Amino acid sequence: MQLLNASQIREWDQYTIQQEPISSVNLMERAASACVDWIWEHFPGQSFDIFCGTGNNGGDGLAIARLLMLMRISVKVYIVNAAGKASGDFSTNLERLKATPGANITELNPGTFPLTPDQSAIIIDALLGTGINRPIEGFTGKIVDFINHQSNKVIAIDMPSGLQSDTYSGNTNIIEANHTLTFQNFKLGLLMPGNARYFGEVHVLDIGLAPAYLTTVESRYELTEKALFDSFYKPRSNYAHKGNFGHALVIAGSYGKMGAAVLSTKACLRSGAGLVTAHVPGTGINIMQTTTPEAMCKADPHAELITRIEYPLKGYSAIGIGPGMGTQPATQKLLQYALSSYNQPLVLDADALNILSENKTWLNLIPENSIITPHPKEFSRLFGEPFNDFERIEVALEQAARLKVIIVLKGHRTFIATSSGKGYFNTTGNAGMATGGSGDVLTGIITGLLAQGYTPAKAAIMGVYLHGLAGDGAAALYGMDAMIAGDIIEALKTIHNS
């Protein structure tokens, strides 16, 4: 699904209002009803303190309050800056709430603040939502600070107040929510790791915005979901043979780090490559042939390192290089040789990236459409330390275009920057994948997909999605604390049957 900015989502609201047709206040009612359904499912029988601004986010909060009260749930409503300018839908919902028997409404101002907090109530933040593009100041800032100092659980409606949808929010007061109920579509700010302390768990609620709008608009970003994966996936012909699915070469491992080579090679096989060869140090041959008999092996002349390739590379459909191979001078020369000698896309990870960070002029040797897979620290060593997460994805897109490569910036919401200027945020995966060897598995998966003839961009997007999906399967079996990288490979077995 396309990832829209705040302006486009407002346009989507208006499009729905015109096309359905539906009034804006009834669309707000629909959104409030979706929130109440979620709240009742997750927090039945709780009481709520709802803090409302006077814009449309506040209108959402008032509608939620009324619907909860009609369910005989205890609700207290606090309106902030009630004397300020109010939106029409806020005013309509305020009148509806006042007409509801038992309505408990307090207008907050410096004279009625601070409050005596109700420790048992769940706080609902409906102060500002997406309706802010500057830091919170003044009395509203004091309210935010007050909420953040309570021990109550906090639910933010659409966006935590103070957190901007599309840009870095800076140093300002921002609601720290346990849950964020956002409408119809993820917001960019809800995908940034640095914002996680503010948005907590994100839940996207379908409020029935007209899907036809998505055909009228373009977005720079997209979410990698099952529908996108399915649109890329090529089912196998009944008459296919192993030669139809490519021959991948995995260059990996060194003394004490043969596990990285094993994981990458196994993952490459499990991703569907027809043939896989592993180039490993001389003493690693027995390890590879014992643990991964399905792969062929090439022994490096050096017993403990990868130092030389003495066979032509052009016969391989795809090459993945880097996991566990170290950064010794001889290994650096091997990488330089591979960059210069192979004229098809490579998959570069781990120590290949560490070597590139020490030899940045070699970045210009990377074959066009290659895939590099840095984690944030590797990314910073390659391209400089960004000021914030938004700048990091901008730099990724700029460098992908400059180098004509695909950059897979690994993390909870892995970001794939393509050379065309479009970026993709992955939607699969979990914190259990933050374990040694997980990145080696991803390298193998992407290399295997590339070998099968998927374009580099599709191989990267599909590989990241599959990696996360398998990680979710492993977490379901073993738990996030107990799962290890090998479990991700094992979970790949069941994906295409699900």
| pLDDT tens column, 303-333 | 999 999 999 999 999 999 999 999 999 999 9
Mean of pLDDT over the chain: 95
Lowest mean pLDDT segment, chosen from 109-113, 387-391, 490-494: 109-113
Task: Provide mean pLDDT across the span 211-235.
Answer: 94
Task: Give residue 114's pLDDT band: very low, low, confident or very high (50, 70, 90).
Answer: confident
How confident is the model over 237-280, as pLDDT tens digits? 898 888 889 999 999 999 999 999 999 999 999 999 999 999 99
| pTM of the predicted structure, to 2 decimals | 0.94
How confident is the model over 60-103, as pLDDT tens digits? 999 999 999 999 999 999 999 866 789 999 999 999 999 999 99
Q: Within a 10 A sphere around the Cβ of 12, how many other Cβ atoms?
A: 21
Q: Within a 10 A sphere around the Cβ of 209, how many other Cβ atoms?
A: 22
Is residue 460 classed as helix, strand or coil in its secondary structure? helix
What local confidence, expressed as pLDDT, does residue 96 receive? Answer: 97
Higher pLDDT, 451 or 109: 451
Give the pairing of strands 105-108 and 122-126.
Answer: unpaired
The side-by-side arrangement of strands in the sheet containing 122-126 is 105-108, 75-80, 48-52, 122-126, 154-157, 179-183, 201-205
What local confidence, expressed as pLDDT, does residue 117 receive? Answer: 77
Lowest mean pLDDT segment, chosen from 124-128, 321-325, 327-331, 494-498: 494-498
What local confidence, expressed as pLDDT, does residue 494 receive? Answer: 85
CB 221 within 8 A of CB 27: no
- pLDDT > 60? residue 498: no
Helix runs in 82-195, H state only:
88-98, 138-148
Task: Give residue 131's pLDDT band: very low, low, confident or very high (50, 70, 90).
Answer: low
How confident is the model over 1-59, as pLDDT tens digits? 899 999 999 999 999 999 999 999 999 999 999 999 999 999 998 999 999 999 999 99
How confident is the model over 420-433, as pLDDT tens digits? 999 999 999 999 99
Rounded CA-CA distance 406/419 in Å is 6
Under DSSP, the state recorded for 8 is: H
- pLDDT > 80? residue 496: no
- pLDDT > 60? residue 497: no
CB 269 within 8 A of CB 492: no
Higher pLDDT, 131 or 124: 124
Please work out, in degrees rounded to the nearest 5, the angle formed at the alpha carbon of residue 165 by the alpha carbons of 162 and 169: 50
